[in-house]
Structure 1
Amino acid sequence: MNSEFRLHYAPDNASLCVRIALLEMNLTFDPVLVNRKQRAQKSAQFLAMNPNGLIPVLETPDGPMFETAAILQWLADREQVMMPPQDSPARVPALQWLFWLSNTLHGTLRMLFYPDQYGADDPEKLRLVTRARLIAQLDLLENATTAPWRDGDTPSIHGCYLAPMLRWSALYGGSTDWFDLSRWPHLQAFAKRIETRPAVIAAAKSEGLGSTPISAPSPCVPPEGSAL
């Protein structure tokens, strides 16, 4: 393996956000499969890189990194692309939305997907409450006026992060009959637009995500490994 980066990934996991960003930035990387069925993310070797035991990890020239948003911001700042520079007024809302995607939206999705990990006596009841929270958060993003990355054609780390989360919302929330992306026209347009980008097409092919992976997703059929 001769690439500058090694992406420890599992299909259709948070590593997908980083894969898309690396492809958008034309950075070469070696994908390293983390076998979730064997709980390889809890192995001593993996925990030495990410003590949380969560995917992804990106090995960099500066050492291994974990936390999706941190990896995305580090890549953007290093390459000086896909994020406003530090001296730009646009940096403030860009940072706000990046941390919102990480702390708020992604946090809600984790609760939706893994209610048993939150000590829920009734996981389905928690899922119902969490779905309502997710809908309110997507309503907020749909109506935002400070998120130009949502509507533009220029790639951003925000788009790399949001696109997989829209996909997961439709597939992994306990059922598929409650989520309708057409409720949010701006987000639906974003989904249709970003899945035509070469980086997303390449990522979808690598992980078996189908031809409409964001706007009308189908279950992951990866060439190797498992999403769950």
Structure 2
Amino acid sequence: MYQLYYSPRNASAAVHWLLHDLNVPYELIRVDRKQQQQKSAEYLKLNPSGRIPTLLIDDQPLSETAAILITLCERHPEQAKMPALVSPDRSKFWQWMMYLTNTLQNELMVYFYPHTTDSNGIEAIKQAQVVRLAEILTLIDRELSHHTYLVGDTLTACDFFLFLLGYWCLALPQPLTEYPNLTRFMRLMAKHPSITAVNDIEQFDLDCDIFTFID
């Protein structure tokens, strides 16, 4: 059985959705961020970075969302949540998984948690990030114009990750509807059975306007 250390609406949600979709046994262990439990000595023994999520696999901890998603895909190849080794889409899967974690997620973290010793510089950082994130979302929107999901027309673990990050983007100043293909993708994923099945735990607002809008 897997054990997932999670917090609602955090990066752990992408792992939670994939675990549910894989239909494998798992246990959830909530990390209370308000109490800074991710910085506790007990948690830091599992994940020295003090970040969420952490997944225990045979009692061995694994951190970093992208690494966890890929590992789960490799451990359950029969579920086909990443393209097969011989598939031409395999390299695209790796490309987009790395782009999501190294670029989109990273730039979002700078926007939400700008680090500077100049209190007057916080707004400047956020404004610069808005421009940078618009470039990133435009690129993703263009890619989604060619197919249903991020890697072709078959859902992969990348799509759970993108839905999570896209949801975080709802907090940006510009509306996500400026990106029509990404909006279509978000509405499709909001209805995915694994996302809706665990939403009492994850507490995403799947009834917000972007998901209830009827084309």
Q: Is the TM value for this pair above 0.5?
A: yes
Shift of 1:182: 1.3
| Bigger share in helix | 2
- 1:70 matched to which residue of 2? 67
Task: Tell me: CA distance 1:10–1:100, structure 2 relative to 1, closer, same or farther (3 Å).
Answer: same
Alignment partner of 2:198: what SS?
Answer: helix
Alignment partner of 2:131: what SS?
Answer: helix
Shift of 1:119: 5.0
- 1:205 matched to which residue of 2? 200
Q: How does 1:15-164 map to 2 (within 5 A)?
A: 15-61=12-58, 63-80=60-77, 81-116=80-115, 119=117, 121=119, 122-144=121-143, 149-150=149-150, 154-164=154-164
Distance 2:97 2:208 in 1: 22
Shift of 1:35: 0.9
Deviates more, 1:91-100 or 1:81-90: 81-90
Distance 1:143 1:120 in 2: 36
Shift of 1:205: 2.0
Shift of 1:56: 0.3
Alignment partner of 1:144: what SS?
Answer: helix
Shift of 1:127: 0.5
1:195–1:213 contact (8 Å) kept in structure 2: no
Q: Structure 2 counterpart of 1:168, which letter? A: W
2:163–2:189 contact (8 Å) kept in structure 1: yes
1:192–1:214 contact (8 Å) kept in structure 2: no
Q: Structure 1 counterpart of 2:110, which letter? A: M
1:167–1:213 contact (8 Å) kept in structure 2: no
1:84–1:94 contact (8 Å) kept in structure 2: yes
Shift of 1:44: 1.3
RMSD (CA atoms)? 2.2
Structure 1: give runs of 5+ residues left out of the alignment. Answer: 218-228
Please give the TM-score of this superposition, normalised by the length of structure 1: 0.84
Distance 2:123 2:88 in 1: 43
Aligned residue-pair number: 208
Task: Map Cα deviations across residues 11-64 of structure 1 (whole Å, 9 max, x no partner).
Answer: 110001111111111122111010111111011111111110000001112611
- 1:223 matched to which residue of 2? none
- 2:181 matched to which residue of 1? 186
Distance 2:209 2:2 in 1: 26
1:69–1:102 contact (8 Å) kept in structure 2: yes
Structure number with higher relative contact order (C-alpha < 8 Å, ≥ 6 residues apart): 1
Distance 1:159 1:36 in 2: 26
Please give the TM-score of this superposition, normalised by the length of structure 2: 0.89
Distance 1:157 1:214 in 2: 25
Distance 1:33 1:62 in 2: 17
Shift of 1:151: 7.9
